[in-house]
Chain A
Amino acid sequence: MNASTNINIKKKDVFKKRSGKNILLQRLSRNKIAYVSLCFLILVHILVFIGPLVWKVSPTGLQDAGALANWSLQHPMGTDDLGRDVFSRMLYGGRITLIVGLAAMLFALLIGTIIGACAGFFRGYVETVLMRFTEAMMAIPNFFFVLVALTVLGTSPIMVVIVIALSGWMEIARVVYGETLKWKEYEFVEAANASGATSIRILTKYIIPQIIPSIIVSGTLTIAAAILTESAISYLGMGIQPPTPTWGNMLQDSQQYIWTAPILGVLPGAAITIVVLAYNFLGDGLRDALDPRFVKK
């Protein structure tokens, strides 16, 4: 009696530990660098989103300390060429950069998933048209497309997000396409089909849930790419326009002062690098953690 309850408890524990999320976290924690990246990213997001509520210095207002002031208690990172508080600009700029990255990723996932899933599921001419379109988009070098689109659509933050998403969904579409082709051959999909489920229902309830792990991995790597693209177009002066700070356009401002105040160029660049690095490590770690072949090791 006693022994059997013990066994029951143990079984429960086993089941609990084996649930999807737990396995993922367990495997992720084995990969030190991915785990550290995840913690770091959480920290950065908290800092950037909550920070401005605590640090109340305006990112656009001129400070009494004057231009290019050294660091002090009032201005932990000094002031920039116009006398604005750099620390505050880093926080607000980071907020915008990260929001642009996240929003562009979500939008790119949406486009990529719809196109990839439809091409893989419906086959026939739908597949031909959608995948040819995807290939054509991949043939246009990313940056040329972005510049053309920004020239035409303008550089408001929403347009920047849309343009980055429009330039970055192709890889996701190809991944989703490949996975859809694979999963639609399974018996449970056939069963759903036989029981009269509509195409849309099969796609959204049966196939896409199976693809979510791959989508998460692509999404993480897409954020990294989106942040890099955003900062590059801001640097070229084609992105979100000053005075709104982003890490990219802070770098653009700083280039003229690289002789006198190199720190203005080092800080935003280092921030971009570290955040993108963390997203890339996290994406790679997630890929390993979600890869079924990983179990064997």
Chain B
Amino acid sequence: MLKFLINRFGQSIILLLIVTVITFFLINLAPGGPSSTMRMDASPEERQAMVEKLGLDQPVIVRYASWLKGAFSGDLGTSFTSNEPVVQRIAERLPYTIELTIFTIIISIIIGIPIGILSAIKRGSVPDHIINFFSVVGLSVPAFWLGLMLILLFSINLGWLPSSGVGARGVDFNLWGWISHLIMPVLILTTTILPNIVRFTRSSMLEVISQNYIRTIRAKGAKESIVIYIHALRNALIPIITIIGVLIPRLLSGAVITEAIFGWTGIGTLILEAARGRDYPLVMGITIVITIVVILCNLIVDIVYSRVDPRVKNV
């Protein structure tokens, strides 16, 4: 077990290093660099001063090394646009995104797994076809468009839900205000991952049902409900843990759009602001932090999976 943990942890670190290399060198491809974002009337001396202040006159490798050294001590640089530390700006916004994604995951699992099971045990029936159809529809609808349509319906026509914002926090906090702001963003984000959960549950369930031991149980005369819920379900649910790891990047991508539609002040709106303002350290910092989140989630999923399923313990 310890060997497995060390091995996985080492792999995650290597993965993270590769990600930093990709993003760092991508950002340094920028023609003109950050100084090109200064106002047009900036004098060449001012530009030169900025270049020197930011250390842009050094080779890329040197800058990467110093950035990496800072990153290991928790310093991701300073935002160009607000002059605050990147880490601080991310820390302000990240909790909102985590809040949104956690609710989305819980709701997607509560809805998605039963639907997937239903689809699998009624394979080939009308409900199965309907579920399959709507899974593909869910994958195809642009989230932002669906969001607009929801705003049109619930905020403009019916006036039930607020169209943007995160609701009052701190002293003014009230439960309905909080929930009403959450409903539409969570709904939109759910549609981006629900189809995957349904499809994955369905195929996992189908695979278990087709196995010999299920046939044996049936041959022994067990009731169908016992076969499905007692014997098949437990084994079918194990692989579903792994899809959560796969869905985290998808979920975070979806969060960018969802947050943009509903003015949710999370990490998604932050990277949009950073991208529009060409705030390179911030863009880079967000990407790294988000990737750390993804890699950590995958690491946890792997460990949980190896604990739950005795067959993969020795991998």
Contact = CB atoms under 8 A, between A and B. Distances in A.
Interface of A: 33, 132-133, 135-145, 147-153, 224, 228, 231-232, 235-238, 251, 255, 258-259, 262, 265-266, 269, 272-273, 276-277, 280-281, 284
Contacts of A237: 276
Nearest to A224: B140
Given A147-B283, A151-B275, 13 more contacts: A132-B18, A133-B22, A139-B295, A140-B22, A141-B248, A141-B290, A141-B294, A142-B253, A144-B287, A224-B140, A231-B142, A236-B272, A265-B152
A148 B136 contact: no
Interface string B95-134: 0000000000000000000000000000000000000010
17 contacts: A132-B15, A139-B298, A140-B287, A144-B252, A144-B271, A144-B287, A148-B283, A149-B26, A153-B29, A228-B140, A236-B272, A251-B144, A258-B152, A269-B142, A269-B148, A273-B137, A280-B140
Interface in B237-285: 248-250, 252-254, 256-257, 260, 271-272, 274-276, 278, 280, 283-284
A133 B19 CA distance: 8
The 7 closest A-B pairs by CB, nearest first: A269-B145, A143-B253, A136-B18, A277-B140, A276-B140, A141-B252, A141-B249
Contacts of A276: 140-142
Contacts of B274: 151
Contacts of A259: 156
Nearest to A277: B140
Nearest to B132: A284
Contacts of B248: 141
Q: Is the interface of A mostly helix, strand, loop or mixed?
A: helix
Contact of B275 (A132, A148, A235): A148
A251 B145 CA distance: 8
B250 A142 contact: yes
Given A232-B142, A259-B156, A141 B253 contact: yes
Given A273-B140, A276-B140, A140 B284 contact: no
A152 B22 contact: no
* Interface of B, helix, strand, loop or mixed by DSSP: helix
A152 B15 contact: no
A284 B199 CA distance: 12
Contacts of A238: 272, 275-276
B151 interface: yes
A144 B256 contact: yes
B256 A151 contact: no
A277 B248 CA distance: 23
B175 interface: no
Contacts of A269: 142, 145, 148-149
A147 B272 contact: yes
A164 to B, nearest CB: 13
B49 to A, nearest CB: 23
A255 B287 CA distance: 28
A139 B286 CA distance: 14
B235 interface: no
B275 A140 contact: no
A277 B272 contact: no
A19 to B, nearest CB: 30
B26 A152 contact: yes
A228 B253 CA distance: 12
A144 to B, nearest CB: 5
A145 B252 CA distance: 11
B152 A140 contact: no
Contacts of A144: 252-253, 256, 271, 286-287, 290-291
Interface residues of B, number: 50
Interface in B1-48: 14-15, 18-19, 22-23, 26-27, 29-30
Contact of A273 (B29, B145, B272): B145
A140 B141 contact: no
Contacts of A141: 248-250, 252-253, 290-291, 294
B139 interface: yes
Which of A137, A236, A284 has the most CB atoms of chain B within a 10 A radius of its CB? A236
A189 to B, nearest CB: 29
A36 to B, nearest CB: 12
Contacts of A137: 22
A139 B294 contact: yes
B76 to A, nearest CB: 14
B184 interface: no
Contacts of A281: 136
A265 B250 CA distance: 25
A258 B275 CA distance: 26
Nearest to B293: A141
Nearest to A238: B275
Given A141-B294, A148-B23, A232-B143, A277 B137 contact: yes
A147 B139 CA distance: 21
Contacts of B249: 138-142
Nearest to A138: B249
A145 B287 contact: yes
A139 B15 contact: yes
A273 B15 contact: no
B295 to A, nearest CB: 6
A126 to B, nearest CB: 15
B136 A135 contact: no
Contact of A272 (B30, B145, B286): B145
Contacts of A138: 249
Contact of A147 (B142, B256, B295): B256
